[in-house]
Amino acid sequence: MFNPFRKTYSSQERATFEFLSKNHFFAPLEDHEKAEFLPFMYLRKYQKNEAVFFRGDPSQAFYLIKKGAVSLNIDVEDKFENLVKLREGDSFGDNALMDSAYRIYNAICVSEGCELYVIPTTNIQEIFEDNVNIKAKMMYAMAEYFDRYFASLFKAYKESFGFFDLGRAFSRK
């Protein structure tokens, strides 16, 4: 049934919804829920080898890659160990969905140029406060994401024959 009072969206907004739908954190959201993020999605350009953030920085924003590639790595003494290379549609900085978190890895643009949507944590928290359903859906997506991450971590641990002390990851400090 046609509803003449239903909110309509521009072709640009629909394209953004389609882009967001490809991301694990936004896929569960309906268009009207994704629309809550539109005013806070700032497009920022980065050059090759430019840092998006460093390990230990406050988690002040969530990032979605519109164009280019970003490497997530950790620094061990004076060396960097690459964790993953992310591309268009991927997101990172997911701990910005939580309040008062700090970065646990470095994020570096590794393509000739990157275009990233930046969503500030303060705006995410405002959306979460105003709409508990959005928060619940995104937190559930985050739990699924971390479940897959831990499964991969344990698989890597088993395949490395317990080369590192996995128990240290679960210490309560």
Domains of the chain: which residue ranges?
11-164
Angle at CA 140, nearest 5°, toward 32 and 17?
30
Give the per-residue pLDDT at 39: 97
List pLDDT tens digits, range 48-90: 999 999 999 999 999 999 999 999 999 888 888 888 999 999 9
Q: Determine what percent of the chain is predicted with pLDDT higher than 90.
A: 68
Over residues 25-36, the mean pLDDT reads 96
Q: Which of 66, 63, 165, 49 is nearest to 120 (CA)?
A: 63
The answer on pLDDT for 167 being more than 70 is no
**Region of 161 on the Ramachandran plot (φ > 0 left; ψ -120 to 50 alpha; else beta):** left
8, HSE (Cβ side, Cα atoms, 13 Å):
6
Q: What is the 3-state secondary structure (H, E, C) of 76-89?
A: ECCEEEEEEEECCC
The answer on pLDDT for 134 being more than 90 is yes
Over residues 102-125, the mean pLDDT reads 95
- Class assignment of domain 11-164? mainly beta
Rounded to a whole number of angstroms, the CA Rg of the chain reads 18
Maximum mean pLDDT: which of 11-15, 146-150, 161-165: 11-15
pTM for this entry: 0.84
**Within 10 A of 115 (CB to CB), how many other CB atoms are there?**
16
Give the per-residue pLDDT at 169: 55
Residues 6+ apart with CB under 8 A from 14: 31
Give the per-residue pLDDT at 155: 77
